[in-house]
Amino acid sequence: MPLPRLAIWDVDGTLVDSRAVIQDCMEVAFRQSGLPPPDYDATRRVIGISLVEALTILAPPDISAARLDILVDHYRNAFTVQRAAPGHHEPMYDGALDVLDWLKQDGWRLAIATGKTHRGLDGLFAKHAIKSYFDTVWCADDGPGKPHPFMVEQAMRALGCAPGQSLMIGDAIHDIAMGRAAGVRSLGVSWGFGRADELEEAGADEVHHEFRTLSESLRAFAPA
């Protein structure tokens, strides 16, 4: 009987193009907090880690705990407003749904490991009907966030898969670091927040620039 195969997916920047939405929310939250907003290059570098940790990095180093809490609330509120606005655009990347389809049909086990909270992920599931593809979901509010291996380890434990049967797929260096820390093969994608050279430097086993080559790599994966 063949060994099961597990694909663990990041969400933002990997399956869903949330780049513009996240940057817009950052700018709104910082302005409402009376702080200079970060530019996109600063924002993209913290995507994937927990929101509080990301905002701590982006905020001035002398920000008080109370003011940081306000900034976090402003960001969450901005995201809620964005998602409810007419014309809200946070599409899945072309090819993402096709890959999830054939993985499921081919008997793969699928998981999510995301820096989103469950509330944030549920909002995305309400927009994109992909929840049924995933056998287990791990979010920032379940335990230690990226790059700690907790979410990958929990996904493997939940689905009965060993590191040699599992892959981590993500667009950020934090995804690669998390996967490597958990001992799984880690595939980077260059269409999200992280640059290809950054993913390579972080130790990605492969970096893909389109879903076609990612699919070919997944088809060739032989669990050990």
pLDDT 10s digit of each residue in the chain, 224 long? Answer: 678 999 999 999 999 999 999 999 999 999 999 999 999 999 999 998 989 999 999 999 999 999 999 999 999 999 989 888 887 889 999 999 999 999 999 999 999 999 999 998 998 999 999 999 999 999 999 999 999 999 999 999 999 999 999 999 999 999 999 999 999 999 999 999 999 999 999 999 999 999 999 999 999 999 98
Per residue in 128-153, pLDDT tens? 999 999 999 999 999 999 999 999 99
- Considering the candidates 10, 17, 171, 175, report the single residue annotated as catalytic: 10
Per the structure, the complete domain to which residue 60 belongs is given by 19-84
Q: What is the pTM for the complete model shown?
A: 0.94
CA nearest to 134, candidates 164, 153, 158: 158
Query: Do residues 176 and 101 share a domain?
Result: yes
Query: Do residues 110 and 203 share a domain?
Result: yes
* Residue 222 identity (one-letter amino acid): A
Query: Do residues 10 and 37 share a domain?
Result: no
Query: Do residues 13 and 48 share a domain?
Result: no
Residue 24 appears among annotated catalytic residues: no
CATH assignment of the domain containing 109: 3.40.50.1000
| DSSP codes of every residue in the chain | -PPP-EEEE--BTTTB--HHHHHHHHHHHHHHTTSPPPPHHHHHTTBTB-HHHHHHHHS-TT--HHHHHHHHHHHHHHHHHHHHSTT---PBPTTHHHHHHHHHHTT-EEEEE-SS-HHHHHHHHHHS--GGG-SEEE-GGGSS-TTSTHHHHHHHHHHT--GGGEEEEESSHHHHHHHHHTT-EEEEETTSSS-HHHHHHTT-SEEESSHHHHHHHHHH----
Residue 12 appears among annotated catalytic residues: yes
* Residue 195 identity (one-letter amino acid): R
**CB contact at 8 A, 16 and 170:** no
Instruction: Point out the domain boundary residue: 84, 105, 131.
Output: 84
- Residue 114 included in any domain: yes
- Residue 1 included in any domain: no
Query: Do residues 150 and 73 share a domain?
Result: no
Spatial separation of the C-alpha atoms in residues 222 and 207, rounded to whole Å: 18
Instruction: Point out the domain boundary residue: 49, 84, 119.
Output: 84
In 10 A of CB 63, how many CB atoms? 16
CATH assignment of the domain containing 36: 1.10.150
Query: Do residues 95 and 76 share a domain?
Result: no
In the prediction, which pLDDT does 1 show? Answer: 66
Query: Do residues 75 and 166 share a domain?
Result: no
Instruction: Point out the domain boundary residue: 41, 61, 84.
Output: 84
Query: Do residues 136 and 97 share a domain?
Result: yes
Q: Number of structural domains, the chain?
A: 2
